[in-house]
Amino acid sequence: MHDSIKLDRIDISILAQLQKDSSLTNAALAEKVNLSPSPCYIRVKRLEKSGYILRYSATLNIAKIVGCLTIYSEIELDEHRKESFHRFETAIRKYQDLQECYMVTGKIDYVLKFICKSVVEYQAIMDELLQSDAGVARFFTFFVTRIVFQREGVELQSLLDPRSD
């Protein structure tokens, strides 16, 4: 279990900077948040240990690496019992093309985001899901034709600002 710490404005600034660029050296990060390197390093390690920083990663230009499709699927299950949700969530974990899965409210149960090489590959996954005991009653498919914009990270200050309620 992670220790919980109260975040101050410097912690928020550190998190915001790392969210923008996780490749910052400790010295560069310290300069951006107006700390000396040693206290900055200690704070980052404390934020990692407390679970505020889950991992560091690079954002790749997948389209430049390989041709692919981004596909969103809305999934409706045939039953709405705890076991049904668990069975579906267990079944979908094996698909490497599935990038994100969200349980949602409303007429559907889940929204899934796939990155697939082709429509054929996506349809094979959905056919397999429908024929399995995953409990899918129906699904609706949306192909992304163009990315209008994509935000990287979250504007922390606006979420934390008590005046924005």
User: Looking at the whole model, is its pTM more than 0.95?
Assistant: no
Tens of pLDDT along the chain (165 residues) come to 456 788 899 999 999 999 989 999 999 999 999 999 999 999 999 999 999 999 998 888 887 888 899 999 999 999 999 999 999 999 999 999 999 999 999 999 999 999 999 999 999 999 999 999 999 999 999 999 988 988 877 787 777 766 544
Which residue segments constitute the domains of the chain, with CATH numbers given? 9-58 (1.10.10.10), 62-143 (3.30.70.920)
Specify the pairing of strand 136-143 against strand 69-77: antiparallel
Tokens (6 digits) for 61: 């230009």
Q: Which residues are CB-contacts of 122 (< 8 A; sequence separation ≥ 6)?
A: 69, 71, 97, 114, 116, 141
| 76 within 8 A of 108, measured Cβ to Cβ | yes
